[in-house]
């Protein structure tokens, strides 16, 4: 056998083998070893003996034109079935053997879809078949997996699968992971008589046991020739030796959630995906939870953790809670890999990725990081979009709620271009933090004609529900009073200020540091139409409600009620599942005050952000209890919704009426300012649903 005769193209194609047979003019081709090399090994380690009674039923898959089966037949093994998907090969081998070996069978068959019943054979002798069907490491291995699945199916209890293989890493890896529970496995070197051969094949011998025990793999290999294979076997044995506390994690158990400690230090939660969740079968991932995020609902509650599992699409997710945020991802992976290995399912035959929470944004320049006694640490960043347009945005984050972009503003060049070469620097030729902020401000400005946040678009488009009242007030020159609780970067107030003829927009913000950031970085302004009040939004709304009730008791006409009340505040305690608003704004006491503070034809708008379902359900129930009509707009899957409440019934009987109201809203706004970059009101209103 010459090594240069080995085929080197796609072994998976039937056409290739037909052409190969023609090219060799019918001469037999032996993969890896001759029968004389193999028989002593198979006899000693697989019990293959022609004296057995009855004679063992032997299957040779992917037989090709090898003389292996004819040599076995002549040795006394007459109950042999050969299969190959090449018809020309099978016809040639039948013609060659039918007279001298009449009891041997030859069948045209795909070895990945065998047409045999279960438990049909005592021995399956695979000489290069698995190597051929698997191909190269970077090829699709589905065919190889199907073949081994068929091997396990058609082999009888106590039957043996003998695989002669070159044992490349992807091949040995698949063999080790496939033959685990209920298989006794051993690996040996194949002695090659031809000293000139460069091939170093192995015998992988797997015996089908009658129990589902997990046994260690025995092997007899030269450490010089097979160091890589020995390492793979030892790694597999390390998994099989896992301690009693980890034995339960060898197999996936749908819906299992287990809390344990790794290495005496790291808290870990093992979650096996629930039945019906869209996951990659047998895929396992490690999800690292930074210390700063551990308290958040998504990682601290069971419901949130199951959502992470679904998002990761892992059959098993191992959530590891970190004790420090200072280590790099590489350091953490090196530290944790030996610890989580005990928790990886034995059937996981792919790599185990390490995942970290991320917001999917392209980070740019950090303009400022500032601490507030009320809000905590806040960051202002300039970022660039990852699309071809490369749009510039400015973002405000609260570290207490890092998964939520508090505000996002579109930046446009001042005077239509970015200045180049005019940056201010210190005496060392470098920018200080203050100079960097000033230089960025000089070059770019916030575009208040654009709303980058979808929920802001929804809040604005939802004002269509009172478009008739807004149009009536504009026509009669009646003052339209708006209150916004929660300033953020001031982008929602500034859009309303720029696009609507609202006479009085009052923004209530609890934190003066937030107010300062909005003015310095996001272009928020105060004048006779826009006022900023530093204080508690709950108290501000309650004051209007109480004043209204007092004036009604005194039979006086009130001029202080609101037409529009928007709640756009984030929660300082996301552990209860609510990111926005603070829970107090969804209680019945506040909702009653809000209704009392509104004109009969006014509207309450609340941005609700929660990964948990219960806060959304409660918000709807309470709104429906207090308000005459309630509408809901889904912004981000099941997480972000905008809820609208009308104090009295409207004339919006159907979707057509709501659509016409949207047209009216844009018409009124268009008389005041251009709507070129405003939200697509028509598309947003299609998503609004009336829930009462």
Residue 144: which CATH number? 3.40.50.150
Residue 323 confidence (pLDDT): 77
The sheet carrying 444-446 orders its strands as: 365-372, 376-384, 392-398, 405-413, 444-446
For residue 345, tell me if it sits in a domain. yes
Answer yes or no: do 80 and 218 share one domain. yes
Residue 550 confidence (pLDDT): 63
For residue 560, tell me if it sits in a domain. yes
Query: Region 409-433: what's the mean pLDDT?
Result: 53
Query: Region 529-556: what's the mean pLDDT?
Result: 81
Query: Region 551-570: what's the mean pLDDT?
Result: 74
Answer yes or no: do 146 and 8 share one domain. yes
Answer yes or no: do 375 and 436 share one domain. yes
Answer yes or no: do 563 and 684 share one domain. yes
Query: What is the per-residue pLDDT across 448-464, written as a single tens digit (0 to 9) for each?
Result: 998 988 899 999 999 99
Answer yes or no: do 533 and 674 share one domain. yes
Q: Is the pLDDT of residue 28 over 60?
A: no
What gap in Å lies between CA 138 and CA 169, rounded to an integer?
11
Answer yes or no: do 412 and 344 share one domain. no
- Report whether 650 contacts 615 (CB < 8 A): no
Contacts of 64 (CB under 8 A, 6+ apart): 17, 29, 31, 84, 86, 89
Residue 390 confidence (pLDDT): 64
Which stretch of DSSP H or E encloses residue 333?
helix 329-340
For residue 273, tell me if it sits in a domain. yes
- Contacts made by residues 452-455, CB under 8 angstroms, sequence distance 24+: 452/393, 452/408, 452/409, 452/410, 452/491, 453/405, 453/407, 453/408, 453/491, 454/635, 454/636, 454/640, 455/607, 455/609, 455/635, 455/636, 455/640, 455/642
Residues in the chain: 692
Q: CA-CA-CA-CA torsion for 82, 72, 92, 147, nearest 10 degrees? A: 30
In the block, which residue shows the tokens 């909005």?
518
Query: Region 209-234: what's the mean pLDDT?
Result: 87
Q: Is the pLDDT of residue 547 over 90?
A: no
Among 190-199, 442-451, 468-477, 595-604, the range scoring the smallest mean pLDDT is 190-199
For residue 602, tell me if it sits in a domain. yes
- Report whether 580 contacts 458 (CB < 8 A): no
What is the residue-averaged pLDDT of the chain?
Answer: 83
- Report whether 603 contacts 463 (CB < 8 A): yes
Q: Residue 510's closest CA among 398, 635, 603, 669?
A: 398
In the numeric block, which tokens belong to residue 652?
Answer: 């919006």
Answer yes or no: do 442 and 507 share one domain. no
Q: Residue 341's closest CA among 256, 254, 270?
A: 270
Nearest-5° Cα angle at 497, 495 to 498: 65
For residue 360, tell me if it sits in a domain. no
Among 275-279, 640-644, 688-692, the range scoring the smallest mean pLDDT is 275-279
Answer yes or no: do 88 and 169 share one domain. yes
What gap in Å lies between CA 643 and CA 622, rounded to an integer?
11
**430, 446, 462 — which closes off a domain?**
446
Answer yes or no: do 24 and 99 share one domain. yes
Residue 557 confidence (pLDDT): 47
Residue 249 confidence (pLDDT): 84
Among 16-25, 231-240, 521-530, 557-566, the range scoring the smallest mean pLDDT is 16-25
For residue 534, tell me if it sits in a domain. yes
Q: Give the range with max mean pLDDT: 10-19, 285-294, 431-440, 475-484.
A: 475-484
Nearest-5° Cα angle at 376, 375 to 378: 90
388 versus 37: the higher-pLDDT residue is 37
**428, 446, 464 — which closes off a domain?**
446
Q: Classify strands 530-534 and 578-580 as parallel, antiparallel or unpaired.
A: unpaired
Nearest-5° Cα angle at 501, 407 to 549: 85
Q: Classify strands 688-690 and 629-636 as parallel, antiparallel or unpaired.
A: antiparallel
Q: Residue 524: how many CA atoms within 13 Å on its side-chain side?
A: 25
> pLDDT-based confidence at 25, cuts 50/70/90?
low
Query: What is the per-residue pLDDT across 618-627, written as a single tens digit (0 to 9) for each?
Result: 999 999 999 9
Range of the domain at 396: 365-446
Q: Is the pLDDT of residue 192 over 80?
A: no
> pLDDT-based confidence at 392, cuts 50/70/90?
confident
| Residue 298: CATH number of its domain | 3.40.50
Residue 590 confidence (pLDDT): 95
Answer yes or no: do 483 and 616 share one domain. yes
For residue 207, tell me if it sits in a domain. yes
Please give the model's pTM, rounded to 2 decimal places: 0.51
In the block, which residue shows the tokens 């191992």?
318
Answer yes or no: do 517 and 608 share one domain. yes
What gap in Å lies between CA 230 and CA 228, rounded to an integer?
5
Q: Is the pLDDT of residue 325 over 60?
A: no
Query: Region 488-507: what's the mean pLDDT?
Result: 93
Answer yes or no: do 319 and 428 share one domain. no
Among 77-91, 164-178, 277-291, the range scoring the smallest mean pLDDT is 277-291
Q: Number of folded domains in the chain? A: 4
What is the percent of the chain with per-residue pLDDT over 90, rounded to a whole number?
Answer: 42
> pLDDT-based confidence at 264, cuts 50/70/90?
confident
Residue 349 confidence (pLDDT): 59
> pLDDT-based confidence at 247, cuts 50/70/90?
confident
């Amino acid at each position: 056998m010459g090594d240069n005769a080995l085929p080197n193209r796609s072994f998976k194609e039937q056409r290739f083998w037909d052409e190969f047979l023609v090219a060799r003019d019918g001469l037999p081709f032996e993969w890896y070893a001759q029968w004389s090399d193999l028989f002593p090994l198979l006899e000693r380690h697989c019990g293959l003996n022609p004296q057995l009674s009855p004679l063992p039923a032997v299957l040779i898959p992917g037989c090709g034109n090898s003389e292996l089966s004819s040599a076995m037949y002549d040795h006394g093994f007459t109950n042999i079935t050969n299969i190959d998907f090449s018809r020309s090969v099978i016809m040639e081998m039948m013609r060659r053997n039918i007279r001298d070996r009449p009891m041997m069978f030859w069948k045209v068959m795909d070895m990945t879809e065998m047409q045999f019943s279960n438990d049909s054979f005592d021995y399956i002798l695979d000489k290069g078949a698995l190597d051929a069907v698997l191909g190269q490491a970077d090829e699709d291995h589905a065919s190889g997996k199907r073949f081994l699945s068929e091997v396990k199916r058609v082999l009888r209890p106590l039957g043996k699968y003998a695989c002669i293989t070159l044992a490349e890493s992807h091949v040995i890896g698949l063999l080790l992971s496939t033959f685990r529970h209920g298989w006794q496995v051993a690996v040996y070197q194949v002695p090659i008589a031809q000293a000139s051969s460069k091939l170093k094949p192995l015998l992988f011998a797997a015996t089908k046991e009658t129990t589902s025990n997990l046994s260690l793999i025995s092997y007899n290999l030269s450490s010089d020739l097979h160091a890589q294979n020995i390492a793979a076997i030892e790694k597999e044995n390390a998994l099989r030796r896992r301690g009693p506390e980890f034995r339960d994690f060898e197999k996936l158990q749908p819906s299992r959630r287990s809390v344990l400690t790794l290495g005496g230090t790291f808290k870990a939660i093992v979650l096996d995906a629930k039945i019906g969740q869209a996951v990659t079968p047998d895929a396992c991932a490690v999800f690292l939870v930074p210390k700063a995020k551990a308290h958040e609902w998504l990682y601290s509650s069971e419901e949130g953790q199951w959502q992470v599992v679904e998002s990761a699409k892992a059959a098993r997710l191992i959530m590891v809670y970190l004790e420090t945020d200072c280590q790099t991802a590489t350091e953490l992976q090196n530290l944790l890999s030996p610890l989580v290995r005990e928790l990886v399912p034995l059937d996981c035959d792919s790599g185990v990725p390490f995942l970290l929470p991320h917001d999917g944004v392209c980070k740019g320049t950090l303009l400022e990081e500032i601490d507030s006694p009320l809000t905590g640490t806040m960051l202002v960043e300039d970022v660039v979009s990852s699309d071809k347009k490369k749009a510039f945005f400015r973002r405000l984050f609260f570290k207490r709620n890092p998964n939520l972009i508090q505000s996002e503003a579109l930046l446009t060049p001042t005077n239509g271009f970015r200045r180049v070469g005019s940056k201010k620097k210190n005496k060392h030729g470098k920018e200080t933090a203050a100079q960097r902020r000033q230089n960025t401000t000089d070059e770019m400005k916030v575009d208040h004609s654009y709303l980058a946040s979808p929920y802001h678009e929804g809040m604005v488009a939802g004002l269509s529900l009172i478009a008739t009242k807004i149009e009536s007030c504009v026509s009669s020159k009646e003052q339209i009073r708006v209150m916004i609780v929660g300033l953020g970067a001031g982008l929602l107030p500034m859009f309303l200020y720029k696009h609507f003829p609202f006479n009085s927009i009052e923004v209530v913000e609890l934190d003066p540091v937030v107010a300062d950031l909005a003015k310095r970085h996001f272009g928020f302004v105060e004048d006779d139409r826009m006022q900023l009040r530093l204080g508690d939004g709950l108290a501000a709304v309650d004051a209007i409600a109480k004043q209204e009730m007092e004036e009604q008791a005194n039979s006086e006409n009130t001029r202080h009620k609101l037409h529009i009340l928007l709640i756009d505040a984030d929660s300082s305690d996301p552990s209860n599942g609510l990111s926005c608003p603070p829970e107090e704004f969804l209680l019945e006491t506040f909702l009653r005050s809000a209704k009392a503070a509104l004109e009969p034809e006014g509207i309450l708008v609340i941005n609700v952000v929660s990964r948990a379902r219960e806060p959304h359900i409660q918000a709807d129930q309470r709104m429906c209890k207090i308000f005459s009509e309630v509408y809901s707009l889904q912004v981000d899957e099941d997480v972000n919704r905008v809820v609208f409440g009308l104090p009295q019934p409207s004339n919006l009987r159907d979707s057509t009426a709501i659509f016409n109201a949207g047209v009216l809203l844009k018409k009124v706004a268009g008389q005041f300012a251009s709507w070129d970059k405003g939200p697509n009101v028509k598309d947003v209103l299609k998503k609004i649903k009336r829930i009462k």
